[in-house]
Amino acid sequence: MTSPLDPATASHGPDAASASATPLSRVTVLGTGVLGAQIAFQAAYTGSDVVAYDIGDEQIAVARARFDGLAATYLTPQGLPGATEESTREALRRVAFSTDLAEAVADADLVVEAVPESLELKRDLYARLAPLLPERTVLATNSSTLLPSDLVDVTGRPEKFLALHFANLIWVNNTAEVMGTPATSPDVFRSVVEFARGMGMVPIELKKEQPGYVLNSLLVPLLNAASALLVKGVADPETVDTTWRIGTGAPFGPFQIMDVVGLRTVHAVSVAGGPEGRAFAEMIQRDYLDRGATGRESGEGFYSYPAPSAE
């Protein structure tokens, strides 16, 4: 099955000519996976000096290809309106790469953590990070499932820590959910809101902590319902997606959305679910991940795509 993904129109902020108008101009992104790369590239595109950190040379090599792919994508009809070869080349020039954690954060105004959704992994990273950060540095997690309160005690800077959650295909689905803990400084919260706005995002300000934030609080029940229909043998992914698109006018169905999110992330979230969630995770592992089908980024998931994407 093949289905083109033509992203829906969103409300876009400034283009590359509008550099971030906040003090948070030096940004380090920890993790160069699909979304980490998007965050780093969009920050660079809108004027920030960016360090993209990952754990090894192999990951950095993949990241460089992702950044080149993003630069190319921004110039396509599905990319960012107003993007030019000059503006994307300039964005690439603003990105440095590092496998040295201390070096990567040494001069950061803002560090955005975008590592896999594992509480143990994130807490270990923050414990190692705490003594390395400059006093001024604001620290944000891009976690989509964990609350910042799950992590705050190991950050060493509770007043400068919060969540900054982006949606995949960041240049089109340009929301940035900002969620603090009771310890987060209001001034830090506002500075991150303005940073997100300067990135071309629409800041979504949460007044209190909520698992799943706003976006996933709405989205996850849909995806769970779709996966249950598949696990029970009620309908196949294409039927579910067609029904949803026709019935609601939405541009994507739930299985198309899962391909965009990435099946590794869907698997990780499903493993932590109930019996149906675990059955769905087993299906994803057996039928997709074990043969390298990770969703849109690999060119194959529930659907097949014309060519692997670098986003």
Sign of the CA dihedral running 20, 24, 27, 30: negative
The catalytically annotated residue of 3, 20, 142, 144 is 144
Sign of the CA dihedral running 98, 99, 104, 110: positive
CA distances from 27 to 114, 160, 181, 192, 222 (A): 13, 15, 21, 12, 34
Distance CA 279, CA 260 (A): 21
Based on the residue annotation, tell me whether 216 is a catalytic residue of this protein: yes
φ, ψ of residue 240 to 5 degrees: the values are: -60, -45
Based on the residue annotation, tell me whether 177 is a catalytic residue of this protein: yes
Q: What stretches of the chain show up as alpha helix (H) in DSSP?
A: 34-45, 57-74, 85-93, 101-105, 119-129, 186-198, 215-231, 237-248, 254-261, 263-271, 275-287
The catalytically annotated residue of 177, 297, 300, 311 is 177
The catalytically annotated residue of 143, 165, 298, 300 is 165
The catalytically annotated residue of 48, 87, 216, 298 is 216
Catalytic residue positions, numbered: 144, 165, 177, 216
